[in-house]
Amino acid sequence: MYQKLLTFPVSRGIFIISKETNVKINTRTTGTGEEIMKRTYGYCRISRRTQNIERQERNILEAYPEARISKEAYTGTKLQGRKKLDEILKQIKPGDCLVFDSVSRMARNAAEGMALYEELYNKGVDIVFLKEPHCNTSKYREAQRDAQIAITVNTGNEITDNLMNSIISSLNKFRTDLAKKDIELAFQQAQKEVDDLHERTAEGIETARRAGKQIGQKKGAKLTTKKSIEKKAEILKHSVDFGGTLNDSDCMKLTGLARNTFYKYKRELKEEQA
């Protein structure tokens, strides 16, 4: 399989690399009848920058080597604010494909996730979830098609016909709703995982507090870092207030500290020497 994305124009779905090798090219047709290359987008998301995003990228590229990968670290369940996802949504066209490692990478808010899913589905975008393939739009489309009972009753008796056709229409809606419910359940499960995590975190903090353990930094405590130690040493050595030769302006330039940080460190040094 060739892993480079072929970006040159093609007029058919097959491009001949050599006499022996044929590579399938996915194309979509524009409103003018012109065939253009379908694009595959891969979206990877982690909640914190300390997490490893490479696993998601690797999984997507193994299944879709041609995918254009977008990665970002974003904390929260809301869709708003995800810059990389927003960029994809602005570019994606009907017939294109959007790949996620799992449903939870698309959304962890059930209502917003389902709304975005339906928006892309109605737009004609193929959505793929590697870990939940039963939620892929291809499966959803197939389930909706197979769910329809293509029968119209016409016995000549208007009352009977209306009743039977109404029942068939209700059955079709019921079976379509069942297919949709599978997708909704997947997003609900993703949201439940986040809700459970928040609940366990809150319970853990409360348990620690009741056990007398310090939660977070003590009020009024000074945060000591390697940077603060080094910069305070420079201030002590060079500032005229501590026996050095530099005024505040020159000392700030030497240490590279912002004005507020510089005066904060000076104040703490004076308190330590009091």
Q: Are residues 140 and 244 in the same domain?
A: no
Residue 219 is assigned to a structural domain of this protein: no
The residue out of 165, 182, 210 marking a domain boundary is 210
Residue 1 is assigned to a structural domain of this protein: no
Contacts for 21-28: CB closer than 8 Å, 24+ residues apart? 28/93, 28/94, 28/95, 28/96
pTM of the complete model: 0.56
Q: Are residues 146 and 239 in the same domain?
A: no
Give just the sign of the alpha carbon dihedral 57, 62, 64, 67.
Answer: positive
Residue 31 is assigned to a structural domain of this protein: no
- Provide the token pair at 60: 């997507």
**Residue 72 three-state SS:** strand
For 251, the domain range is 226-273
Residue 33 is assigned to a structural domain of this protein: no
Which residue matches tokens 């005229």? 240
Residue 20 is assigned to a structural domain of this protein: no
Which phi and psi (to 5°) does residue 86 adopt? Answer: -60, -40
Q: Are residues 113 and 192 in the same domain?
A: yes
Q: Are the C-beta atoms of residues 44 and 57 closer than 8 Å to each other?
A: yes
Residue 220 is assigned to a structural domain of this protein: no
Q: Are residues 144 and 241 in the same domain?
A: no
CA distances from 85 to 21, 82, 88, 200 (A): 36, 5, 5, 29
Q: How many domains is the chain built from?
A: 2
Q: Are residues 104 and 56 in the same domain?
A: yes
pLDDT tens for each residue of the chain, 274 residues long? 444 444 434 333 333 333 333 334 465 555 555 556 789 999 999 877 667 889 999 999 999 999 999 998 865 555 556 789 999 999 999 999 999 999 988 887 888 888 999 999 999 999 999 999 988 999 888 877 765 666 677 777 888 778 877 887 777 677 667 677 878 888 888 778 777 877 887 888 888 788 877 666 666 566 678 888 889 999 989 998 888 899 999 999 999 999 999 998 998 888 887 6
